[in-house]
Amino acid sequence: MKNQPSAESSLIGDIRGGVVSFLVAVPLCLGIALASGVPLFAGIIAGIVGGLVVGSFSKSALSISGPEAGLIIVVLSAMDSLGTFSTFLLATCLAGIIQILLGYARAGIISNFFPSSVIKGMLAAIGIILIFKQIPLLVGYDGDHAEAFTLFQPDGINILKQCQWAFAHINATAILIALISMGIFFIWEFILPRKQTSLSKIPPALIVVATAVLINTFFQLFYPAWALKDNHLVQLPVPADFSGFLKLFTLPDFSQINNPRVYTAAISIALVASLEALLSIEATDELDPLSRKTPSNQELKAQGIGNLMSGLMGGMPLTSVIVRSSISLNAGARTKRAALIHGFMLLVCVITLPNLLNEIPWAALASILFITGYRLARIELFRSQYEAGLVRFLPFITTVGAILLTDLIAGIAIGMLMSLFFIIRETYLKAHQTYTYEMNGKESIRIRLGDYVSFLNKASISALLDRIPNGTRVEIDYTQTSYIDSDVQDILQRFETSAQARNIYLIRLDTNLEIPHFINR
C-alpha cells in the first residue's frame, strides 16, 4: 500500500471532494428523479441518505452513493406497475432489506456471474434511452410522459412519440440554453484538457447549471417574454417553516404489503442496485491511489440500509455512483468523510436554498443527462465490442436490443441466455481435440481432452470413439483435464474395456509429465 496522506491534507482533500461532488449531485439528483418519474424531492432525499447513511455504514473510502442513471428504467417500470409513489416506496424499503440479506448471505461475488458484454450492453441501452428521453426537454417541451420507459410501447405513448410532440412545441430559449450547455461540455471534454488549465478541474455540470441560471435571469430582467418559467424550471416545494419541510417526506403505503407486484419490483430494484453498487466500488477501488479494497458483502449491507432508510423517508432507490465517486477522488478526497460532507451539504441546501434550485432550467439538466447517456452508449463501445468477436458482440447487442424492446430485467435475462449459449457452444467445441498421424507405418490417433468435459460432450465423444477403426494406435490425453462428467467417464471406461477385443493399442496419458499408462499391448 502506498504512503497514507497526512491528517491535515486528507481533511482538506475530503472537504474539497465533498463540496465538488455535492455541486455535481444537486442537478443529477433532480435530473434523475425527473427521468425516473418520481417527485423531485425523492431524488434529493436519496442523495442525502446516500451521503450520510450509506457513507456511515460503508467500508469504502471513496465511494459516494445516491440516485444513479442505471436505476432510471427499473424505477420507471416499478412506478408503472405499482401505480402510486407510496406503494413504490414500500418496494424500495423491501429492496433494501433484500440487499441486507444478500450481504449476510455473502452474495458480494454476484457481479462475477454477469458477463462484461451483458453489463456493457445494459449500460449502452440505458444510455440510448436517456438520450431519447432528454430530447423533448432540450427543445423546451414541458410535457411529462415519464412512464414511457422503453423506445417502443404498445400503447403508442413512447419516447419516439414524445419527440414528435416536442418538435411541435419548440422553445427558442430552451434550445439556446441546451446548445450552450452542450458547448460547455465540449470545451471541458476536448479543449481544456489539452491546455491543462485550472478550469478543467471545475465540474462542467456546475458550469452548465450556473450558466443556464444566469442566462434565464438575464431574460427575466431584460426580455421577460423570452424567459423560461413554470414547468420549464425545476419546481421543488418551498416550505414556509421547518414543520412544512418535514411534510415533504412521504411514508410508504404498508397496506400494500400483500401485493405481489411490490415484491416483484423490490427484487428488480435490489438486483439492479446491488449489481450497480458492486461494479461501481470495483471501478472506484481501481482508481484509488492507496490501492484499498472495499469488502463487497459489507457494501451490500450498507446499500441495503441506505435503500431501507430512503424508502422510509420518501426517497428513490440509490446505489454507489462511479461518476460522483471519481469526481470526489479527483478533487482530492481520500476518506469517507467526503461522502458525509456531500450528504450534509445536500441537506443544508434543500433546507436553506430551495428558491435558488428552482431557478434551474430543465434544459440544462437535460443536457447533463444527454451527455451522461452519450458516455454510456458511445460509438467506441459498440466498435470495441464488435472487434472483440461474435462471442462478445452478440450478447452485447442482444442485451441492448432486448432492453430497448422490453425492459431492463427482461433484456438482461435475454442477454444472459445469449451468453449462456456461447458458453455451452465453447464447452462443446473445446472439450476435446483429435490429432491423426502415422507412427511406424501405422495410423495413430491422439485424443486430447479439454479442461472441463461435461455431459454436453457425451454424444460427440461416444461417436468419436465408435468411429475409430480396429487395429488403430490410440492415445487418450488427460493431462489438461480437471473435470470429467461421470457419464463421459463410463464411455471412456467401456472403450478401454473393448480396446483389446478390437485390437486397438491404447495408451492413457494422465499426468502433467505425460508418462504413458499402457492399457494393453
- What the chain holds in terms of domains, given with CATH numbers, is 8-418 (no CATH), 430-518 (3.30.750.24)
415-467 tens-digit pLDDT: 989 988 887 777 666 677 888 877 777 778 888 887 778 777 888 888 888 88
Name the residue with higher pLDDT: 324 or 255.
Answer: 255
User: What is the C-alpha radius of gyration for the chain, rounded to an integer number of angstroms?
Assistant: 29
* 339 touches 114 (CB < 8 A): no
* 284 touches 44 (CB < 8 A): no
pLDDT band at 3 (very low <50, low <70, confident <90, very high): low
> Which residues 6+ apart lie within 8 Å of 186 measured at CB?
none
39-58 tens-digit pLDDT: 989 999 999 999 999 999 99
* 93 touches 252 (CB < 8 A): yes
169-205 tens-digit pLDDT: 788 999 999 999 999 988 887 888 777 677 776 778 7
Q: Is the model's pLDDT at 157 over the cut of 60?
A: no
Residue 515 pLDDT: 44
- Give CA–CA dist 443/467, Å, rounded: 14
As to burial, measured by CB atoms within 10 angstroms (0-12 exposed, 13-18 middle, 19+ buried), residue 175 is middle
Residue 443 pLDDT: 77
Q: Is the model's pLDDT at 516 over the cut of 50?
A: no
- Give CA–CA dist 3/17, Å, rounded: 20
The 8-class DSSP code of residue 191 comes to I
Mean pLDDT of the chain: 84
Residue 151 pLDDT: 58
Angle at 85 between CA 83 and CA 90, to 5 degrees: 100
Q: How far is CA 192 from CA 133, 302, 323, 372, 403, in A?
A: 29, 37, 19, 19, 36
C-alpha cell at 162: 414524445
Kindly report which listed range (31-40, 337-346, 391-400, 509-518) carries the lowest average pLDDT score. 509-518
The share of the chain scoring above pLDDT 70, in percent, equals 90
State mean pLDDT over 160-168. Answer: 72
Name the residue with higher pLDDT: 57 or 157.
Answer: 57
Helix ranges (H only) for 37-111 are 40-49, 55-57, 72-82, 85-104
Name the residue with higher pLDDT: 278 or 373.
Answer: 278
Residue 366 pLDDT: 85
> How do 473-477 and 452-453 pair as beta strands?
unpaired
C-alpha cell at 354: 430551495
> How do 516-518 and 505-509 pair as beta strands?
antiparallel
The 8-class DSSP code of residue 366 comes to H
Q: Is the model's pLDDT at 513 over the cut of 50?
A: no
Burial string for 237-265 (b: 16+ CB within 10 Å, else e) reads eeeeeeeebeebebebbeebeebeebbbb
37: three-class secondary structure by DSSP: coil
Angle at 437 between CA 434 and CA 440, to 5 degrees: 145
Residue 337 pLDDT: 93
pLDDT band at 148 (very low <50, low <70, confident <90, very high): very low
State mean pLDDT over 278-305. Answer: 87
- Give CA–CA dist 52/72, Å, rounded: 22
191-242 tens-digit pLDDT: 887 776 777 767 787 888 899 999 999 999 999 999 998 788 887 778 877 7
State mean pLDDT over 109-125. Answer: 79
Residue 105 pLDDT: 94
